[in-house]
Structure 1
Amino acid sequence: MSCSSSRRAPVALALTLLASSITHAQDAPSSTAQKPTTLAGVEVSAPSSSRTKPDFPATQASIPAEKIQATVNAVDVEDAAKYLPSIFIRKRNYGDTQPVLATRNWGVNSSARTLVYVDDIPISALIANNNTMGAPRWGMASPETIDHIDMLYGPFSAAYSGNSMGGVMRIVTKLPDKPQVTIKQTEAVQDFDLYGTHDRFSTSQTSVTAGAQSGPWGWFVSANALNSFSQPLSYITGAGFPNNTSGAIPARNKTGQVANVLGAGGLLHTRMLGLNGKLSYDITPWLQASYMAGFWSNHGQSNADTFLTDGAGNPTYGKTAGFASSIYGLSAHHLMQAASLKTDTKGDFDGELVITHYAFLKDSQWNPAGVTTSTDVTTNGRLASYAGTNWSTVDLRGVWRPQGYGGAQEVSAGAHADRYELANTATNLTNWQVPPSTTTLYSAGSGKTATDAVWVQDAWRLDPAWLLTVGGRYEWWKASDGFNFSGQAAVHQPSETSNAFSPKASLQWSVAPDWLITGSLAKSVRFPTVGELYQLVSTGSTYTSPNPNLKPERSRDGELAFEHSTGQGSVRLSLFQENTRDALIQQTAFLSQYPVPVNYVVNVGEVRNRGIELAAQQDNVLVRGLELSGSITFVDSTILSDDTFASTTGTTAKGQHAPYVPRLRATAVATYRPKEVWSFTLAGRYSGRQYSTLDNTDNTPHVFGAFDKFTVFDARVQYQIDEHLSLAVDVDNLTNEKYFLYHPFQQRTYVADLKLTL
């Protein structure tokens, strides 16, 4: 990577800090014992890697492993965070490969507005900003490896890029002190009833983990095999009733137009295998090297179920092309690798170097080009591939403590570089069921983005009651080698560049030992992802159009938080506001010339998210063993301007509610532990309705493509049979709430898991 002389100075500073930590390690205290950190009444020992990470200066929420195990049906890592304040994990079903993280000021379709880390390793997929390939790579960890999860709200730390405008999730893992093996078997059954689908869908998952520490070495490996059958993820609709057929269900789409339901699509059978491992070596008592790798394999087959019959009563597709889009096969192999070198001197200096690479070794989806008669499809088809898509990141961080470890001041600095490359092609097939039978190119979207950054942050305790944190981040961004091909037209897109400086400031006041007031201000800039600029998808159940002329979105954030500790609990009230100019927002349109919905991204003039969040938790409420926690968040998300919005019906975007942000969101969790071996949990989540259009014309609820309000309750009972064996029984969506978030979401599901620890 190339850097100008102006870039080299901060990079040199970070290198100096890393080198200094090695040079002065002899001055550090000889003991490397870690002090326990109390999280929600549970003591955990955080890994030493956390010491090179500057403390986050604004609002945080945490959940420890012990609470996750007792209260959450954590089939996958992302499940562990679903009851954190203002958090929503968009997980449509077990086996979903696209669980996106939504936060208090940005909803779904905003995967690039949050950052997710596993032990300082970024697992966010900033290749895109959507609900598909933009989902974090959660498989780089397993639920059994989690020590705790921290959620950091807002872009108030200079250590993170503008992609943190929605927040930062840090998943901290642990290595067992002694050799340990866990085997977990999970079984789930969902009864689904909607339109013409009345069926039962099952999921089976086997997870095995093993780890140990021996002298300077530590290791952990995990394997997860899943076999899942999903409910319909889409529906085939039409503006009329196909000739000479019956069985269509009269319906409308989200904007109130006729969209009769002809059948169900996306009935996906998924066979997934995830492998990940970590190896660490303590070179010295204060210097550790580690390597992490994860391999993910996914094979699936999607089918369609027609509700139509012909005059003789036989099933038929009614010559509706949308059925072909819901019939496809897929196969993917992905590999992620990460290496780190970090110090924990407990002295004046510490440093950390993290390098990562993620590669789409194979990622293909193939489907027929259309339908013929009856329930037959064409022999020819198309193959969409992302093979060759990849990204790499490098982070160098250093910490200087002028007054020593635990002193009143801590100066941190760092440098960052990332490279993202998109390779997205669709080719014609002579036989859609034989992926190697490729002929000519049908469409293509490719390109690259690169970001270099330097940052510095100073946390200074002015006196025991006041902590001031100030910092700044400067970034250089470039998009290049953009190429799009569709039909007979090929376009080489022009290169784009942009630079930005983002200042940060936070002031904390400890009013009393049990009261804390924090005020924070920040500017952040999010540059368009390579997917938003160049991705062109023309197969499957959606069509995505590129926009190479997108501008970066720039936000100004502020938060005022009041926190009070109650001894066995806490309560927090946060007032927040974010003004974002040139907001990058995805839109979905149902156009008559396309058999599937069309997605595209636009810059919206200015969006304001203003809200209030109340979060509280308390242990031993009324009786010993009863734990209560919950949150409620109100957001007024308003489009202040959008001069480029064009409407053929006279509607306007100005003054409307911003897409994908619910006005009200709430969570509540009650756990009762009458004895150490038993825990009973009832949890609820509420989300108000959302709009997905800029002019808020999608006001028809409970239809395919709509974003409904919902209230979902989950129940869990866990029993620790003995020190080695535990059993849990869950019911997700206890009241069988039926709702759409574009897709129909999971209905009542019964889950049981048995875990053996050796």
Structure 2
Amino acid sequence: MLASYSLQVSAQTENSAGSQAPQVEEIQIWGQQLGQRSDLSHPASVLTQADLLSINVATTEDIVKYEPSLVIRRRFIGDSNGTMGMRGANMFQTSRSMVFADGVPLHYLLQSRWNGSPRWTLVSASEIAQVEVLYGPFSALYSGNAMGGVVNIESAIPQEREFHFDSSFFSQDFGAYGFDDRLNGYKTFFSAGDKIGDLSLYFSFNRLENDAQPQTFYNGSPSSAPNSTGVSGGIVGNDQMGVNRLWLGDTGVVNTETNNYKIKLGYDFNQWSALLNLAYEDRFSDNAPNSYMRAADGSTVWGGTVNQDGSTVSIPASRFSVGAQDRDSLSTGLRLRGPVLENSELEINLNHFSILRDESRNSQRHPLDPTHTPSGQVTDFGDTGWSGAEVKMVSTLSESGNMTLTTGLRHDSYQMDIAVYTSDDYQSGIKSAMSSRSGGETMLQAAFAQLNWVPHEQWEVQVGARQEWFRSHGGFFSVGSGAGLTLNSVPEQKRSSFSPKFSAAYQATDRWTLSYAAAKAYRYPIVEELFSQYQAYNAINQSNPELRPEDGLHHNLGIEYGVAGGYIRLNVFQESIKDVIESQSETLPGGLSVRTFVPIDQVDTLGTEFIANVSGLLNDRLDVRFNVTYTDNEIVENRVDPGIEGNVYPRMPTWRSNLMATYRINSQLDVGLNHQYADSSFGRNDNRDLEQGVFGAQDGYSRTGIKGNYRLQNGFTFSAGVDNIANDIDYVAHPWPGRTLYLNVSYDW
């Protein structure tokens, strides 16, 4: 049957290496069989730990960053803003992709752009057994937030007493503008599990500490003020628009510390199974900016109007403020599965995510500034989080098993409350007076059905539909500040949408398979886009409570050729999306950043993916995963600003490619090569940011890494690797890491 064949050629961990392959313990997961695709309605890719031998893995994002048509903007190890873009969605359209770990949502549908990153740290890279990447919204089981795709992570469930430990050291060289230093980091993970009768127990702890390169470099605004301080030390160079600037400082080293505690309890009763997930994250980060400017007496200059070699610029003292963030989060998930009726299986997923504390503290000035005081600003997330519930039933409708029906209901609710306070003592987090507050709630309910039919051994057809009901309510924003602050309510929304889905696959021969999929999808606005409205020292955020949902029509045409040990696949996809919710930022003179949410009438994407995943080459010793993606992305219509029609949508490279190759020297030793490539793109809708190799640019990049693994018979494994061997300094607005060394030791018992 076609289903069996497709699963076979997609089983990317099936290894034909014979005696040369390392011995891998049998692993049980809650999802489908290890190494197999779960849903043929999607263009998909599957990863297991055996596929990751050639890459240096520090955090969960590393596991998926080499997959086709997928980009992760993780600026440094430990970055809380590891945003993800898939296919026609760029890395800042975070609400167009979904991430689940054991059925628990990790996607962060509260904020967008850099703040909208999935909560990757709630699952540790060391506990993952399998990752399935689904492209596009071709299944009725997912909301319109799957316009780009879905990442489904499954972790292992203990079947016997086990213990795992691993520890990593990483170190990078980084030099840009006036900064040049070596920066180090550490990761420690351990887990313990056991199965006692019908009860499975698992506990893990993951600690990550890292010092990262500065993420922002400062320049001053041209000034004609008659009085200025003569300085030296500034760096002369262009910005991303090609304008010559005097660069005066940076945000300094970013220090991050993240602790993650995980408990999983599995229980089998009769023919039912239950899995409880509890994950707690404790995260701290801080940074202290550097000023390059020196006065004639050698003292550091921290702001004001300055002059260097005839260039007079002004920079506010708040530009060099120091910052710190404390963030504590708790994620709870429960999954139940078991048979009901005669030929049906029921699955229930319940989840809740709470921000226990999320507090950012900023000074008015740098502590080394002679005019520094304890005054500052505190930003606090109060009643913020989400909850979800889903019930899904899979029923076999025919005696032969060639027809199954999946039906279900889902409810998701999100709420956010942001308050900004002036502080008489920012280090202690004193909230002296409220300067702004905003927030609100959204709710999305859905009913879905999907029929899978195999009318002939060479054919499979899937038809589905999803009905959604959306409501935004309780929105508010503040006017005034302190004792005069009042809250104004904003209009609520009620909308509904119907999304049909269709896919078909035809196995022409034993090796050739053709497929086609089409789907409608509606991506509703998230809480931040509707309600988040505030002004901080260096930023203004302007929401839009009347935003309509993004309206997408998606197609995928695929052809696949099965080979021994894998497959070669070509996908052609097309996306046409109306009312694209665009988060646009503009930096005003003096460094104030203004962000608004304005819809673009229509953006179209035409793309092609070539994928070759093959194991067992060169006498069964070499495994290769290679992909290349071409996208033609265009702003087709924009009535608000017709001048950008015909432009390339921001942050969408035309060409992208990835390579992972692992060569097994023997059963104990293997070496790997990895490579990532993307050409340059634009960061602005007007496509005027053409400068490359500068802060704020959207550089192309070509980065190569290597890794070696040596396994001992006593359970220890030693690994060493290097990323970005050429030590390129590339900017995707912010700088990515320089050459980075990795050393790792692990032990399994």
TM-score of the superposition, structure 1-length normalised? 0.90
Q: CA deviation at 1:727?
A: 0.6
Give, in whole Å, the separation in 2 of the partners of 1:248 and 1:312: 16
The yes-or-no answer on 1:342 pairing with 2:337 is yes
The yes-or-no answer on 1:453 pairing with 2:446 is yes
Distance change in 2, residues 1:94/1:534 (3 Å)? same
SS of structure 1 residue aligned to 2:95: helix
Give, in whole Å, the separation in 2 of the partners of 1:537 and 1:221: 40
Amino acid at match of 1:79: D
SS of structure 1 residue aligned to 2:140: coil
In the TM superposition, what are the counterparts of 1:232-631 in structure 2 within 5 Å? 232-240=214-222, 243-284=229-270, 286-319=271-304, 320-321=315-316, 324=319, 326-343=321-338, 348-370=343-365, 374=369, 376-404=371-399, 407-436=401-430, 438-485=431-478, 487-488=480-481, 490-539=487-536, 542-592=539-589, 595-631=591-627
1:27 maps to which residue?
A: none
Amino acid at match of 1:38: A
Preserved contact between residue 200 and residue 266 of structure 2 (Cα < 8 Å): yes
**Count of residue pairs the alignment pairs up:** 713
Distance change in 2, residues 1:76/1:537 (3 Å)? farther
Match of 2:731 among 717, 737, 740: 740
**What whole-Å deviation, never above 9, does each CA across 1:30-82 have from its counterpart, x for those lacking one?**
xxxx999933424976634449x9724121111111222x2222211221112
SS of structure 2 residue aligned to 1:433: helix
Distance change in 2, residues 1:307/1:228 (3 Å)? same
Q: CA deviation at 1:336?
A: 0.7
**What whole-Å deviation, never above 9, does each CA across 1:450-504 have from its counterpart, x for those lacking one?**
0111000001011111111000001010111111225457532111121110000
2:19 maps to which residue?
A: none
SS of structure 1 residue aligned to 2:63: helix
Give, in whole Å, the separation in 1 of the partners of 2:479 and 2:229: 32
Preserved contact between residue 513 and residue 559 of structure 2 (Cα < 8 Å): yes
2:649 maps to which residue?
A: 658
Distance change in 2, residues 1:541/1:181 (3 Å)? farther
Preserved contact between residue 568 and residue 618 of structure 1 (Cα < 8 Å): yes
Give, in whole Å, the separation in 2 of the partners of 1:705 and 1:588: 12
TM-score of the superposition, structure 2-length normalised? 0.91
Give, in whole Å, the separation in 2 of the partners of 1:124 and 1:313: 49
The yes-or-no answer on 1:123 pairing with 2:106 is yes
Preserved contact between residue 40 and residue 569 of structure 1 (Cα < 8 Å): no
Preserved contact between residue 9 and residue 565 of structure 2 (Cα < 8 Å): no
Amino acid at match of 1:481: G
Preserved contact between residue 302 and residue 317 of structure 2 (Cα < 8 Å): no
1:18 maps to which residue?
A: none
Give, in whole Å, the separation in 2 of the partners of 1:311 and 1:298: 41
Query: Which segments of 5 or more consecutive residues in structure 1 lack a partner in the other structure?
Result: 1-33, 647-651
Give, in whole Å, the separation in 1 of the partners of 2:409 and 2:212: 43
Amino acid at match of 1:463: H
Q: CA deviation at 1:608?
A: 0.2
**What whole-Å deviation, never above 9, does each CA across 1:628-673 have from its counterpart, x for those lacking one?**
2211100000010000127xxxxx1100001121111111122111
Match of 2:84 among 82, 92, 101: 101
Distance change in 2, residues 1:185/1:540 (3 Å)? farther
Q: CA deviation at 1:533?
A: 1.4
SS of structure 2 residue aligned to 1:38: coil
Distance change in 2, residues 1:641/1:530 (3 Å)? same
Distance change in 2, residues 1:719/1:456 (3 Å)? same
Identity of aligned residues (%): 25
SS of structure 2 residue aligned to 1:722: coil
Match of 2:187 among 205, 213, 219: 205
Query: Which segments of 5 or more consecutive residues in structure 2 lack a partner in the other structure?
Result: 1-6, 16-23, 305-314
Q: CA deviation at 1:538?
A: 3.6
Amino acid at match of 1:614: F
**What whole-Å deviation, never above 9, does each CA across 1:152-173 have from its counterpart, x for those lacking one?**
0110000000000000111111
The yes-or-no answer on 1:226 pairing with 2:222 is no
Preserved contact between residue 321 and residue 371 of structure 1 (Cα < 8 Å): no
Give, in whole Å, the separation in 2 of the partners of 1:36 and 1:645: 48
SS of structure 2 residue aligned to 1:163: helix
Give, in whole Å, the separation in 2 of the partners of 1:745 and 1:283: 49
Q: CA deviation at 1:372?
A: 9.6
Amino acid at match of 2:631: V
Distance change in 2, residues 1:613/1:470 (3 Å)? same
Give, in whole Å, the separation in 2 of the partners of 1:329 and 1:536: 22
Distance change in 2, residues 1:676/1:344 (3 Å)? farther
Preserved contact between residue 322 and residue 366 of structure 2 (Cα < 8 Å): no
Give, in whole Å, the separation in 2 of the partners of 1:83 and 1:680: 17
1:58 maps to which residue?
A: 42
Distance change in 2, residues 1:185/1:472 (3 Å)? same
Q: CA deviation at 1:251?
A: 2.6
Amino acid at match of 2:491: P
Give, in whole Å, the separation in 1 of the partners of 2:721 and 2:202: 28
Distance change in 2, residues 1:56/1:140 (3 Å)? farther
Preserved contact between residue 30 and residue 154 of structure 2 (Cα < 8 Å): no
Which is worse superposed, 137-146 or 507-516? 137-146
1:643 maps to which residue?
A: 639
**What whole-Å deviation, never above 9, does each CA across 1:557-594 have from its counterpart, x for those lacking one?**
001000111112210000110000001122221112x5
Preserved contact between residue 633 and residue 665 of structure 1 (Cα < 8 Å): yes
SS of structure 1 residue aligned to 2:644: coil
Q: CA deviation at 1:745?
A: 1.0
Distance change in 2, residues 1:197/1:365 (3 Å)? same
Preserved contact between residue 214 and residue 252 of structure 2 (Cα < 8 Å): yes
Distance change in 2, residues 1:344/1:229 (3 Å)? farther
Distance change in 2, residues 1:326/1:705 (3 Å)? farther
Distance change in 2, residues 1:322/1:290 (3 Å)? farther
Give, in whole Å, the separation in 1 of the partners of 2:180 and 2:351: 45
Give, in whole Å, the separation in 2 of the partners of 1:712 and 1:54: 32
Preserved contact between residue 553 and residue 580 of structure 1 (Cα < 8 Å): yes
Give, in whole Å, the separation in 1 of the partners of 2:180 and 2:529: 37
Preserved contact between residue 256 and residue 698 of structure 1 (Cα < 8 Å): yes
The yes-or-no answer on 1:696 pairing with 2:687 is yes
Which is worse superposed, 654-663 or 82-91? 82-91
Give, in whole Å, the separation in 2 of the partners of 1:266 and 1:497: 45
Match of 2:71 among 88, 111, 120: 88
**What whole-Å deviation, never above 9, does each CA across 1:508-548 have from its counterpart, x for those lacking one?**
00111211111000000000000111223544765433222
Which is worse superposed, 183-192 or 155-164? 183-192
